[in-house]
Amino acid sequence: MGMAVPGKVKASADKRAASRRREQSVSRERTTTSATAMGMAVASTPDHRHQVYTWPQANSYTSRPSHIPDSRTYAARTTSHLYSTPVVLISEGTVQARVAQMQRVARLAVDCGIWGGVGTPPPPEWDDPSRPLEAAKAIDRLRDGSRKRARETWDLGRLATALEYLRDMVEETKRMPFVPLRYLGDIDALMYNQETLEMFAEFIRTKGSRQHGRLGTNLRGDTVDTYVSTVKVFVTFETHYEITAKEVNVVMPVAAKRARQMQAPPGTRKLSRGMRAHMLTKLAAMGYSRGSSRTLMRWAAALAAHNLLLRGGEVGTVHGWKFDPTRDTTFGAIEFKAPCADSAWLPWLTWDVVAIKDVNARLRSCPMVVRKRRATINEGDDHMCLYDTLRMHWRASLGVEPPSLGRISGRLPTGHLAADVPLFAGARGGVWDTRDTRELAKEQATALGLDPSEFGAKAYRIGGAIDWKDVFGEHAEKVITERGRWHSDIGAIYARALVGTHLRGSAAVGDSVAADLESMCAGWAQPASFR
């Protein structure tokens, strides 16, 4: 091995030092600006290697074990990602309301001392001091991008309410809410954090509701559990590890059970009626308009939501979501099929539905089948035939003949890809969304002389499920579960769906006339289960 040249060694060291100074300067400027924007006091340590961020009116916590640091003050490396401003973590396309909600959540978390986790960030020696500035920026970009995506899944309204409760408890008790684990399985820290969650649950119960008009009223046990779980998940996310463990969770389940035993019986659910087949039939008999391309489209939307048991946002897209032709309802989602024995030798189609309640975000497409109701009926004569209505809407909307077989392809005269065009257009000039489904249900209820407040975006899904039950009787449960894409037991995965069953149902469901119990019992709303 050759001898090192002193001049080269010094030059290399100077180059690394200069690179690190540039990295610290950029990161310090970004982090200081973010911290100041959130109302934090910023100061430097004497050697200027660390920034100290202190929240205003920091509490002096009492009853704190000596080994637990005050989480109101963090000594962090300037390159730490923990203090990035919330605005940076939100994509530019996000609506302004969500930006404001995210900022509110961040401020509340700062007040509670839990924004960015608990404890201190990784030690400086874990980083390569010779890493160039561009590499440091790449690390920050990837780290912030990952956290941004995760934060976009939060229910910001619920999280903000939970953090308001936590902030009030912290101010009242002067207790640091959570402490870092010094090592894996740190029983002292796990017990401390679990005790905080237990006290938090009791605090929420004693304070009651924060809603206007219900301020201070008792909360249901499930509501309390939800707020506690929300904070626990939030802190776990920020710390990157579990802040408590099942081994120390021995008091809270028993306390929660006793609280549920002592609470009053639940009130009656808000009445949410279904738009039934006989109601749609009555509307058609009354002369409900289907003459223009717009009114024909709305009628097709109502029939589709009823027949396919669609959620309000599955007719088009969810209100507030950006339209995605790979997920939302388009002309390309429909495929026309050749008559076969299972379709009673009548034409039929499949409609690819991606559930909007997709917890795991798998975006799995589920084909729903629809058959022409009767062979002897001319197109347009049967107002309850979804197959014919869709083909009529197709011509009126696109100005082209729907394919006899397969899916639409190519481009429209406007230049748009035909398959990506939304199947239904909203009243506001954009894509049909949940609001359009809700407004249509209320409009049709009003036309029928019914109370529109009892009908919402899920009215067609409810009504369709009732009518499918009427068609198939005791055998309806499995078909409805498949048709409505509800979560079911694992056994349903092995019992494959039968195309003939769904095709017969798609034709017969329009003839259902049986009354449902809610319509016969004024003021009563059916509970989730009869027990």
pLDDT at 486: 74
- Give the C-alpha distances (Å, rounded to integers) separating 483 from 160, 480, 500: 36, 5, 13
Closest CA to 222 of 177, 257, 271: 257
In three-state secondary structure terms, 369 is: strand
CA distance 242 to 482: 37
Residue 204 has what pLDDT? 95
> Which region, left, alpha or beta, applies to residue 268 given φ > 0 means left and ψ of -120 to 50 means alpha?
beta
CB contact at 8 A, 269 and 525: yes
Above 60 in pLDDT, residue 82?
A: no
* Closest residue by Cα to residue 383 from 287, 502, 308, 505: 287
| Per-residue burial over 224-241, b = 16 or more CB atoms within 10 Å of its CB, e = otherwise | bbbbbebbbebbbebbee
Q: Structure tokens of 265? A: 């019986």
**Each residue of 517-531: b (16+ CB within 10 Å) or e?**
ebeeeeeeebeeeee
224 against 147, higher pLDDT: 224
pLDDT of residue 488: 56
pLDDT in tens, 172-217: 999 999 999 988 899 999 999 999 999 999 999 999 998 888 888 8
- Whether pTM > 0.75 for this model: the answer is no
In 3-state terms the chain splits into helix, strand, coil percentages (rounded to 5) of 50, 10, 45
Return d(Cα 114, Cα 235) in angstroms, integer.
7
DSSP 373-398: S-SSSPTTT-TT-HHHHHHHHHHHHH
Assess whether pLDDT exceeds 90 at residue 290: no
Q: Which residue has the higher pLDDT, 30 or 513?
A: 513
Residue 46 has pLDDT above 90, yes or no: no
Dihedral angle sign, alpha carbons of residues 320, 322, 328, 333: positive
The tens digit of pLDDT for each residue in 308-334 reads 999 999 999 888 788 888 888 999 999
Burial 108-140 (b: 16+ CB within 10 A, else e): bbbbbbbbbbbbebeeeeeeeeebebeebeeeb
pLDDT band at 529 (very low <50, low <70, confident <90, very high): low
pLDDT at 78: 29
Residue 440 has pLDDT above 90, yes or no: yes
| Pure H helices in 291-359 | 293-307
Question: Domain residue spans in the chain?
Answer: 6-262, 277-512
The sign of the dihedral angle between the CA atoms of 442, 448, 454, 457 is: negative
- Look-up: residue for tokens 């036309």? 447
Contact call for residues 250 and 505 (beta carbons, < 8 A): no
Taking 60 as the threshold, does the pLDDT of residue 30 lie above it? no
- Using the predicted structure, report yes or no on whether residue 148 has a pLDDT greater than 50: yes
At a CB cut-off of 8 Å and minimum separation 6, what does 372 contact?
A: 346, 347, 348, 385, 387, 388, 507
What is the average per-residue pLDDT within 441-463? 94
- What distances in angstroms separate CA 216 from CA 206, 230, 405, 508, one per listed residue? 8, 20, 61, 51
What value does the mean pLDDT take over residues 440-451?
95
Position 250 pLDDT exceeds 80:
yes
Comparing 276-290, 331-345, 364-378, the range with the smallest average pLDDT is 364-378
What string of DSSP letters covers 27-55? HHHHHHHHHHHTT-EEEE-TTSSEEEEE-
Which range, 6-20, 49-63, 359-373, 437-451, has the best average confidence (pLDDT)?
Answer: 437-451
The conformation of residue 433, written as its DSSP 8-state character, comes to B
What are the backbone angles phi and psi of residue 520, rounded to the nearest 5°? -95, -10
Q: Does residue 501 register a pLDDT over 80?
A: no
- Does the pLDDT value for residue 81 go beyond 80? no
What is the rounded average pLDDT of the residues 495-508?
76
pLDDT confidence band for 11 (50 / 70 / 90): low
pLDDT digits (tens, 9 = 90+) for 294-310: 999 999 999 999 999 99
Under the banding of pLDDT at 50, 70 and 90, the label for residue 360 is: low
pLDDT for residue 92: 38
Radius of gyration (C-alpha) of the chain in whole angstroms: 30
CA atoms of 111 and 130, how far apart (whole Å): 36
Side chain identity at 14, as an amino acid letter? D
Position 527 scores a pLDDT of 66
Q: Which one-letter DSSP state was computed for residue 404?
A: S
Over residues 242-258, the mean pLDDT reads 93
Cα–Cα distances (Å) from 514 to 153, 274, 329, in that order, read: 42, 13, 31
CB 297 within 8 A of CB 392: no
Per-residue pLDDT, 171: 94
393 — pLDDT class (breaks 50, 70, 90): very high
**pLDDT at res. 212:** 83
- pLDDT above 70 covers a percentage of the chain that reads 73
Q: Which fold has domain 277-512?
A: hpI Integrase; Chain A (1.10.443)
* Mean pLDDT, the chain, whole residue set: 77
CA distance 438 to 379: 28
pLDDT of residue 217: 87
Per-residue model confidence (pLDDT) at position 487: 67
Most confident segment among 107-121, 134-148, 184-198, 497-511: 184-198
Q: Highest-confidence range of 33-37, 52-56, 256-260, 386-390, by mean pLDDT?
A: 386-390
Closest CA to 389 of 404, 373, 375, 405: 373
Spatial distance between the Cα atoms of 509 and 503, rounded to a whole number of angstroms = 10
Confidence band for 161, pLDDT divided at 50, 70 and 90: very high
Average pLDDT over residues 252-274: 83
Copy the structure tokens of residue 17.
Answer: 């030092």
What pLDDT sits at residue 448? Answer: 95
Average pLDDT score over residue span 270-293: 89
Q: Which residues have C-beta within 8 Å of that of residue 31, sequence separation ≥ 6?
A: 51, 78, 80, 83, 84
Q: What's the pLDDT score for residue 482?
A: 78
